[in-house]
Amino acid sequence: MKILIVGASGATGKFLVDELLSANKEIKIIVRPTANIPDTWLYNEQLHIIRGNISEMKVDEMTEIISDCNAFASCLGHNLTLKGVFGKPQKLVTDAVQLICEAISRKNPEKAVKFVLMNTVGNQNRDIKEQVSIAHKIVIAMVRFFIPPQADNEKAADFLRLMVGQNHPKIEWVVIRPDSLINEYSVTDYRLHPSPISSAIFNPGETSRINVAHFMAQLIMDDDLWGKWKGQMPVIYNK
């Protein structure tokens, strides 16, 4: 199994790479030329580092990159700077998910591949009509309007939910929804739910980035766990 990870240089992505390296998996990452990555990665033969800007890549190039990959993970997200939040590319995550899925379809793998997308609990799973309060809906609508990364996260998940769907012969997916991200340096107990158990706006929970990475890695490596969550948008909270 070879796994392509995008957003690998981010706070969660780094944990995911380390988790999969310690399980002896072969990994490819696409990171920006300016990305800050650990020196140890440079000498790791299990890790193939591609320096480039995913938002400038075309489908031919991506098809070549993914030609030997059978699992995919995105921890991409907009940097929390004015340029990252309000500048281009505003559809960073959506376009990357779409590009990778188009490349997978072109490659037409023999068996369906896995795609794990890191998303947000601020996004609803409209496949299962999650109930939220009117006040929550109003706040999210304002966030969507004023903060472009919210719309990007929603569109990225919608691409998998609606365009790839539940019965794609070559792509299976899980969209992971953490609540407020915090940093911890070891994996702790965490809970998984098909939908949020409290309002992400009015009563937010906490999720460690390392726990998100752990769950993403387990989904990629454990087919039973994958079967349980395939085509869903599990919410992950620290216990």
Ligand X SMILES: NC(=O)c1ccc[n+]([C@@H]2O[C@H](COP(=O)([O-])OP(=O)(O)OC[C@H]3O[C@@H](n4cnc5c(N)ncnc54)[C@H](OP(=O)(O)O)[C@@H]3O)[C@@H](O)[C@H]2O)c1
**Which stretches of the chain bind ligand X, using CB under 6 A?**
7, 9-13, 32, 34-35, 53-55, 75-79, 84, 89, 92, 118, 120, 149, 153, 178, 180-181, 209
- For ligand X, the closer of residues 112 and 147 by Cβ is 147
**b/e map of 125-157 (b: 16 or more CB within 10 Å)?**
beeeeeeeeeebeebbeeebeeebbbbbbbbbb
Separation CA 119–CA 160 (nearest Å): 12
Give me the least distance between CB of 218 and ligand X, in Å please: 18
Separation CA 67–CA 162 (nearest Å): 25
Sign of the alpha-carbon dihedral angle for 118, 98, 169, 107: negative
C-alpha distances in angstroms, 233 versus 31, 35, 36, 126, 173?
26, 29, 30, 10, 9
Reading the block at residue 101, the tokens are 């899925």
Which residue of this chain has its Cβ atom nearest to ligand X in the complex?
Answer: 77
Separation CA 188–CA 183 (nearest Å): 12
Separation CA 83–CA 97 (nearest Å): 21
Reading the block at residue 114, the tokens are 């896995």
Q: Are 237 and 191 in contact (CB under 8 A)?
A: yes
